[in-house]
Amino acid sequence: MSVALADKPKRITTHVLQEMKIRGEKIAMLTAYDYSMARIIDRAGIDLILVGDSASNVMAGYETTIPITLDEMIYHASSVVRAVERSLVVVDMPFGSYQGNSKEALNSAIRIMKETGAGAVKLEGGKEIQESIIRILSAGIPVMGHLGLTPQSIHKFGTFVVRARDDEEAKKLVEDAHLLEQTGCFSIVLEKIPARLGAQVAEELKIPIIGIGAGRYVDGQVLVLHDMLGITQDFSPRFLRRYHNLSQEITSAVNNYITDIKNLEFPNDKEQY
Ligand code: KIV
């Protein structure tokens, strides 16, 4: 069943998301990194668009999210914002742009807001980055948190396995989630944690909790667009549902194009002047 856009709010804001949580309406979020894709998913009715630092993997081909720069994130985000009429656009603050000190964090967040026109920023971490979050919020910039498997810390974790399986890490995650809410974050992404922990956090917190591999009892879900469309092929975590096999469709379209050229079937009489 397609979503009736006429029944939905014209523009998604952090307040609209809060109301959705109160109503028990699930929130749908996807990543986008460019104008054309952002335009399609915004018109399809997605609530939130994340200009994720997964652009580092998906768009630039790096192994991790560490190398992508603030300038590169700003380029991706401004392309997305130009396409979007309805969704709330959230931009990942890249590694190195907020961990150093809170003044640098504020300057990076201000650049993102001024140079892209996005509606919010996302930062990875809990207590360790609280000072940066406070400073960004003090400038009136909405902040989304990100806990659990935080890919910018991959070299600390050493592996992409499920986080917070043991009691100690689970306790810290719940404490961090409460801290982010008290500090003023409007929402939190929980990545790759046990479903019962995702459910607990969503139940205890008033702000919307968006999961990626955090089970179904959270307030919304996010996936990387290129993964769910089947453009990427070599990444198959359990939480990923592929809604399409676009890689195969693109390959077949390109094969047909090549064949038509080789056989002098493209362009035909109607396709020339
Ligand atoms: O960068 C990203 O795409 C993300 C999502 C996985 C939540 O942070």
* Mean pLDDT of the 23-43 span: 98
User: In degrees rounded to 5, what are phi and psi of residue 53?
Assistant: -75, 0
Taking residues 208-212, report their average pLDDT: 98
How many A from CA of 65 to the centre of ligand 1? 9
Residues 125, 130: Cα–Cα separation, whole Å: 8
- Where does the pLDDT of residue 90 fall: very low under 50, low under 70, confident under 90, or very high at 90 and above? very high
The whole-number average pLDDT for the span 220-233 is 97
Number of Cβ atoms within 10 Å of the Cβ of 127: 12
**pLDDT at residue 10 in the model:** 86
Cα(58) to ligand 1 centroid in Å equals 11
Q: What is the pLDDT of residues 1-16, one digit of tens each?
A: 555 555 666 899 999 9
Q: Which atom of ligand 1 is nearest to the CA of 52?
A: 1
0.75 surpassed by pTM: yes
| 46-84 pLDDT, tens digit each | 999 999 999 999 999 999 999 999 999 999 999 999 999
CA atoms of 231 and 171, how far apart (whole Å)? 37
Name the average pLDDT for the chain.
Answer: 96
What is the CB < 6 Å shell around ligand 1? Answer: 31, 50, 52-54, 92, 189, 191, 212, 222, 224
pLDDT at 12: 98
Mutational pocket test of ligand 1: of 27, 29, 30, 31, the residue with most ligand atoms within 8 Å of the beta carbon: 31
Residue to substitute in 152, 163, 187, 212 for testing ligand 1 pocket (most ligand atoms within 8 angstroms of CB): 212
Q: What pLDDT, on the 0 to 100 scale, is given for residue 3?
A: 57
Would residue 215 be called left, alpha or beta, if left means φ above 0 and alpha means ψ between -120 and 50 degrees? left
pLDDT of 187: 98
First to last CA, the chain: 43
What is the pLDDT averaged over residues 100-112? 96
Distance 151 CA to ligand 1 centre (A): 8
Residue with tokens 């810390």, as numbered in its chain: 153
Q: How far apart, in whole angstroms, are the C-alpha atoms of residue 177 and residue 188? A: 8
- Which atom of ligand 1 lies closest to the CA of 65? 1
Please, what are the domains in the chain? 5-242 (3.20.20.60), 245-273 (no CATH)
